[in-house]
């Protein structure tokens, strides 16, 4: 009986350790881009505007700039921010899940690594949503579907222009309806 109990406890410990190790890989996705940082960002921005479903660009952040301004040396990182009132409205209108506004706007990170390649990082919106019940699971499932459309890049098409946000922290606009955030 003691061996069975010890085996059960060991099994739980191994399962917990495996879940802890793999959690980051499940919650976030990373893929290589065939383009440079700015062209990748421009293509993602264009796709966001073309997707519909209430999506607008709400910002473009450069977190590497702060490190560089502080005298540090870091590779390029740009974060595209987009929001859809179609998807944010049900969450923002429900007191029980309003705290999830911290996940808004949707962010896509484009960055270069030391291997010289450009990568796209995204949150696994579909999986994250399932952890918060049926309303959020449904909404985030739809966000995940649209997010896949944001990342489709046809190398036969010319690169669209990069959309640089207006001065003063305004959103990158485009697509009507509520640029500047959710």
Going from N- to C-terminal start, the domains of the chain cover: 27-150
The pair of three-digit structure tokens given for residue 42, joined into one six-digit string:
């421009």
How far, in Å, are 16, 64, 145 from residue 12 at the CA level? 6, 41, 34
Q: What is the reported pLDDT for 103? A: 87
Q: What is the reported pLDDT for 36? A: 98
* CATH T-level assignment (fold) for domain 27-150: TATA-Binding Protein (3.30.310)
Q: What is the reported pLDDT for 107? A: 96
d(CA 36, CA 120): 11
R_g of the chain, CA atoms, integer Å: 19
Check if the beta carbon of residue 123 is closer than 8 Å to that of residue 28.
yes
Give the pTM: 0.80
pLDDT average per 10 residues of sequence, the chain (182 residues): 64 55 73 98 97 94 93 95 95 95 93 98 93 93 96 95 73 42 60
Q: What is the reported pLDDT for 26? A: 80
Q: What is the reported pLDDT for 20? A: 52
Check if the beta carbon of residue 61 is closer than 8 Å to that of residue 79.
yes
d(CA 111, CA 15): 33
How far, in Å, are 90, 113, 125 from residue 28 at the CA level? 24, 17, 8
Give the closest residue to 105 by CA, choosing from 67, 150, 135, 69.
Answer: 150
């Amino acid at each position: 009986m003691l061996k069975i109990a010890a085996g059960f406890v060991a099994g739980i410990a191994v399962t917990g350790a495996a879940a802890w190790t793999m959690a980051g890989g499940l919650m976030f996705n990373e893929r290589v881009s065939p383009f440079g940082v700015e062209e990748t960002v421009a293509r993602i921005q264009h796709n966001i505007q073309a997707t519909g479903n209430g999506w607008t660009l709400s910002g473009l952040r450069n977190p590497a700039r702060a490190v560089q301004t502080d005298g540090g040396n870091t590779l390029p990182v740009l974060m595209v921010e987009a929001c859809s009132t179609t998807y944010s409205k049900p969450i923002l209108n429900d007191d029980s899940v309003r705290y999830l506004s911290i996940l808004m706007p949707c962010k896509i990170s484009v960055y270069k690594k030391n291997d010289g390649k450009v990568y796209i990082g995204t949150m696994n919106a579909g999986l994250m949503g399932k952890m918060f019940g049926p309303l959020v699971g449904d909404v985030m499932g739809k966000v995940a579907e649209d997010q896949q459309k944001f990342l489709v890049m046809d190398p036969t098409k010319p690169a669209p222009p990069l959309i640089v946000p207006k001065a003063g922290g305004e959103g990158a606009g485009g697509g009507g309806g509520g640029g500047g955030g959710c």
